[in-house]
Structure 1
Amino acid sequence: MRAHPTRHAEHRRRPAPGGQPGTALRTLSAPELAALLSARERGEVDVDVVDVRERAEHDLVAIPGARLLPLSGLRSGEGLASLDPARPLVLHCKVGQRSAEAGALLQARGFADVRHLAGGILAWIDEVDPSLPATERSALSARRRSGATCRCGRRSSPRRARR
């Protein structure tokens, strides 16, 4: 049996209930976000780009022009005051799971123009800026290889080769 942090039941997150019926959270690709950020820099569009990862993750690597507002702050409601429901919003995390959850939560609270980055910051590194350190990917791979404990305290076993 493979043990991986996202495979533990307590790590599986489902989008927050109560989103606008029939409204799926829109995604955008890393190159589309890069174009949007360039347009924002030129003053052509107004968009708020928010990183929903935790501070330690953000300190490792960040998308230029994105601000930090951890998902934990959105869940508790503390971070909502810093967001404008009328302003277009793009969310990102490491791979897209947490930003999708945050987007569903914000849609349920009346935010109409919410999108999230498909593939998260790892897609950004792969498709837009390979010069950024992929430290999160490296840290996860090292944790898997070493059999280190998961965030929940369970022991993660190294991946075994399929036979």
Structure 2
Amino acid sequence: MKFNQPSFTVDEALQKLMHFCAYRDRSQKEVEDKLDSMNMIPAAKEKIIIELMQENFLNEERFSRSFVRGKFRIKKWGRIKITQELKKRGISSPIIKLGLTEIKESEYRATLYELAEKKLEKLTEPNSFKKKGKLADHLLRKGYESSLVFDCANELID
């Protein structure tokens, strides 16, 4: 236990975490980490998490959906990368599947092609085989499925 850190009552911690969750959607793991950093005992942590869920400050499905929307629209991540990040945050597979329904298939493919075309403009590789490889690597790192990536690369570089 750290000595120079203030201690919180359950009510103070609850208020602090209500603000923490109201600022943006959080996963349960993020809330637990925050409670750990506040040196809360397990019984108090459980009580606070239950209260946050009952008051709808903490909602894993809502977190998953907003996370998916944000990472796809802003960072243009693919489903694979988004899924990995949600798993890292302790989100269960069924809730990840629900979150991924936020991505429309047509929008997903359009974004993939948009990323591919942008990357192609920057590639100076004369060899078309190597060029395809570099493009595919870029798109795979962004988290897109290999079948889609290779179809896209073949379509654009032929």
For Structure 1 versus Structure 2, the TM-score category normalised by the shorter chain is under 0.3
Calculate the TM-score normalised by the size of structure 1.
Answer: 0.26
> Which structure features the higher share of strand residues?
1
Calculate the TM-score normalised by the size of structure 2.
Answer: 0.27
> Which structure features the higher share of helix residues?
2
Structure showing greater Rg: 2
Q: Which gives a bigger RCO, structure 1 or 2 (Cα 8 Å, sep 6+)?
A: 1
